[in-house]
């Protein structure tokens, strides 16, 4: 079963409780899940949160919205993914972070297809990145996840799930999916209030219930309204996206 596992927690140093911050009148986590539901490849969606009592609210939200939920180790996210995948019989896993309200199901489906068609252990579109930060897609097999879980002794790898694959490329057949134009300078994820302000501008312009706007829709909007991309341009990007 092809399963999207969303890592989510309410604790955040820069932006606490951001997954319940409202976008177009609905919490951020709603939009992340809703956009995944449009995928033609994903067969199951699981929210993987922590055993920290602060994350009881995430489990409650998942139950209220008929979304599968798994609770595991707060620091060892690799372990959390492994046991979530095992519980829900996932043989292909799509790693999703809960602070990305612009995930594009067509991009995700394409990376899934690359993994399957090329018989890989790991496929992704962010190493090196050519898509906007926030459209990261990482897809891997359960066998690869199990090996990483059993063999990794690195705290960094346990926190970041897929780093064991990147560090052991000879053990895991893998490839990067490139966009035809490098637009990785664009920041479409949420870590700060500026990021949320940018996301709200996009949602106010493009969001329609029961429909999903695409990466190209956002690019067209920004082309017409370049000030939108400037709202959060000074927010520090993650390591992979730093020039």
Domains in the chain, start-ordered, CATH in brackets? 2-241 (3.90.550.10)
Rounded to whole angstroms, how far apart are CA atoms 87 and 197? 37
Local confidence pLDDT in tens for the 243 residues of the chain? 999 999 999 876 667 789 999 999 999 999 999 999 999 999 999 999 999 999 999 999 999 999 999 999 988 999 999 999 999 999 999 999 999 999 999 999 999 999 999 999 999 999 999 999 999 999 999 999 999 999 988 888 888 999 999 999 999 999 999 999 999 999 999 999 999 999 999 999 999 988 999 999 999 999 999 999 999 888 876 665 444
- Tell me if residue 200 falls in helix, strand or coil: helix
Per-residue burial over 186-222, b if 16 or more Cβ lie within 10 Å, else e, is bbbbbbbebbbebbbbbbeebbeeeebbebeebeebb
Q: Where do we find the tokens 């060892």?
A: 76
Rounded to whole angstroms, how far apart are CA atoms 127 and 109? 18
- Res 241: pLDDT: 47
- Res 243: pLDDT: 44
Radius of gyration of the chain (CA): 17
Rounded to whole angstroms, how far apart are CA atoms 229 and 7? 26
Q: Are 5 and 48 in contact (CB under 8 A)?
A: yes
- Res 238: pLDDT: 64
pTM for the complete prediction? Answer: 0.92
Q: Where do we find the tokens 């009881």?
A: 56
- Res 235: pLDDT: 85
């Amino acid at each position: 079963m092809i399963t999207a596992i969303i890592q989510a927690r309410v604790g955040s140093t820069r932006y606490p409780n951001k997954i319940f911050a409202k976008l177009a009148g609905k919490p951020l986590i709603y939009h992340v899940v809703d956009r995944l539901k449009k995928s033609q490849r994903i067969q199951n969606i699981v929210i993987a949160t922590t055993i920290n009592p602060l994350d009881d609210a995430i489990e409650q939200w998942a139950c209220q919205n008929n979304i599968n939920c798994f609770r595991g180790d707060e620091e060892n996210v690799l372990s959390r993914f492994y046991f979530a995948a095992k519980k829900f019989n996932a043989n292909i896993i799509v790693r999703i972070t809960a602070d990305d309200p612009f995930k594009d199901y067509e991009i995700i489906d394409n990376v899934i297809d690359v993994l399957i068609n090329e018989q890989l252990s790991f496929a992704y579109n962010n190493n090196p990145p050519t898509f906007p930060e926030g459209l990261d897609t990482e897809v891997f097999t359960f066998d690869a996840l199990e090996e990483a879980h059993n063999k990794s002794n690195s705290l960094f790898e346990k926190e970041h799930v897929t780093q064991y694959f990147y560090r052991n490329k000879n053990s895991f057949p893998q490839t990067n999916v490139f966009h035809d134009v490098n637009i990785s300078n664009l920041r479409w994820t949420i870590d700060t209030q500026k990021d949320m302000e940018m996301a709200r501008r996009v949602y106010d312009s493009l969001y329609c219930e029961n429909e999903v706007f695409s990466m190209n829709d956002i690019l067209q909007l920004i082309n017409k309204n370049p000030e939108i991309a400037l709202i959060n341009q000074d927010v520090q990007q993650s390591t992979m996206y730093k020039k």
